[in-house]
Chain A
Amino acid sequence: MASAGTSGESKKYFLYVDILGFSALVMAGRVRDLYRRLDNLNAHSHPSFSTIVFSDTIVIYNKDDLDWDEDDKTALVSRLCEFAGDLFYRLISQDIHFRAYICCGEFLHSKMQHIEAFYGRALVQSYYREREIQCTGLFIENDLVPYIGVFESDKYDEHSHYVHLIEYFRQISFTEGSYPIDWNLIGPTGLDVFLSYDITYLRNVHAHMCNMDMTPRVRVKYLSAWQMIQKRHRAILDVLERRNFEPRAICDMDWTQAFEKIGTKDGFFE
């Protein structure tokens, strides 16, 4: 039996992703584009990790079983956060959302004679935890929070933390009354290109949480995501919500080009 990533049921650092609203994407004929995006994930080009994609589920885990120290665990876990962040930004233009969970546990993936086998406690644990979480975004089990590296997290429930994937707001997150901020904080570095994705994401989340055509059960997931992001960026969210997501509320500059490129081949994340 040839191994496709591990020779035994060893402990893996494990990212489990559930694409939300997958059935609707299938019915709308949007899955091919989604899979094209999944096929381009950074995770595929990283030799230390294996990726499995099946229907609406993506699983990414580390291949090697070494005697990892604390710094190595940070390298592994923060890399999984980065993979989730990569997916997050690639899906913003399509208004596609996911719920993901990072844990550490036993997992086996092997090529048998006719089938590929993948199973383990980490997979089961992720499956059940991910379904308990009534929110969107990335979550991580409490024990792994010390290893998220440059990422920031906030407690979500007694088992897990919410990991903030919104990357660029961090550079312009100030107190209320600071907005609109000076052009020099955004213009010279081209930060508007990236901030336009963060603003688009928030606008999408806000639209879903306020959409009365959606069931309350679905709406609450987006509301929870909004509340988690609010923990770090309350002032930005408040000003955007008040100004109906007009980017000039953040900085009084011409944002037209940055927003026009989102969802096109010229867009940084497409």
Chain B
Amino acid sequence: MDVTATTARHSIARVRVRPIRIAELSFVAFFALVTGLPLLFLLGGSFNLAAPGQPAVYGLANWARAFSDPATVNALWMSFLLSGARLIPAIVIAVLFAWLIARTDMPGGNAIEFFCWMAYFIPDFPLTLAWILLLDPNYGLLNSLALELPFVHSAPFNPYSFWGIVWVHTSTGGIWFKVILLTPVFRRLSAALEEAARVAGAKTTTVLWRVTVPLLSPMILAVAVLSFIRGLQSFNTELLLGTPAGIYVYSTRIYDYIRREPASYGEATALGSVFIVALGILLFLYWRFLRGKRRFTVVTGQGYSTARVRLGGWRYVALAACALYIAIMTLLPLVFLTLGSFMRRYGFFNISSPFTLAHWQDVLRDPIFFLALKNSLLIATITAGVGVVLYSMAAYVLVSRRAVMAPVLEAFCWLPHILPGILLGLGILWLFLATPLRFVFYGTTWGIALALMVSDSPVTTQAFRAGYLQLGADLEEAARVAGASWGYTYRRVLLPLLAPVAGAIGLMNFGGALTSISTPVLLYSHQSRPLALLMLEYSVTGELERGAVLGLLITAMICVMMLIGRRLGLQLSGQQ
């Protein structure tokens, strides 16, 4: 009794400071600085005719110049066109995959799902390099093979084209991302709805296209719009395949503006601003559309039956088709990328002693490589580590119900999700150039890590938020009532319980930091260059074999991480 009485009396004299309020304010300030301010600089910068860091001169000249150049408008149009063109085949394929995995008795569904996860994490840059090595009109292996045929007289494939870009995109992460999103949706659909259609006399395929897909159409559409927006953020494939053919999207155009001498910040920001406005309109329409689509509420998961569609003999055909798709679109390119890294001159099998270790030796002996490796590991560790600590706390503030500015904080957390990497990089570059932050961050590994951390904020915060919600408040409150301070509770109760979430998201962010190109591409210097950008430099300067070596190394690192993740018991398929 005495203990309580005295502590209580102490508290009377003390002015109350609420830690959660301080945390909330710090987070809002942090996000305003690293997300809000870059966006503001981006939008404001387009009206600023002076270089960043110089006294501002306002005017419309940037916009005038950007839009008097038809190339700018074309780039914007091309972004939408490319993202749209690859959406349709990708959605059809993803729906088929998800349906086969989740709703049919296809054998090995879980293994296929796991491979989809693996494929999702394979970085797109090495895959694009691999397709170049297979499809290049001069030395591409598939072209050479095709030319052997008697009736083929010119190279049939050309990756440096609109359809080349679309093709490569159907093998990279985007398609697997859709499978990963759609599979749980298909899994939760009540089988009774399909069974009713069967009883009414419909065939399996009729049920799929007439019942299952229409029922899930709002979800599929949601995934499609999300994919479209993500597609607009694409940079690597467009840079490697589009630039040689003169096909520019807005992101490669911005890259071009900043990389030219002298850099045209004004035009770049003007183009970025137009894109943001267009994206804003798109998102608003999407939100309006989703709001009206609450009609199909059958996907509740309540009392659903998990009976699966019987495919009969077709189930082996289905399995073979899925396996073949993964093999052709993912494994085949990687195998030939590996082969290419060991060839003296890629595609020239007829020269004497075509195979060599020279590229590997050259790359691995080069001190530039070790500096880049060190930078990459440092950047990825900072990004993953600091991100986990920071966003686990931000998510805590958001779920605590005590945040006064929750909507603001939430908006800031989500902003980087729609902001393409190149624009985020541009905004942050501007932030570094225009503020004293440049002394610590400009051109350094810390600067790159900060940008990557910002781009991780939506997914990381969301993952922790889901984690907290799943834990419920009781476990934490029990610790508080038992006498533990918040810090003690966080260390001893919350963090250990969320270790699997923290592990999974940390690994993902680590991998993302290793492979990211578009976010750091405007922020690095020779001293802070990470592996992925060294790979980019080799690839755009014609040293494809060296690029292949680095691409393979990065892919290998990602695969090792995936296996570590699996060993740690992280959930990589929807089924428990």
| A and B associate in one complex | no
* Chain A residues in the interface with B (C-beta under 8 A): none
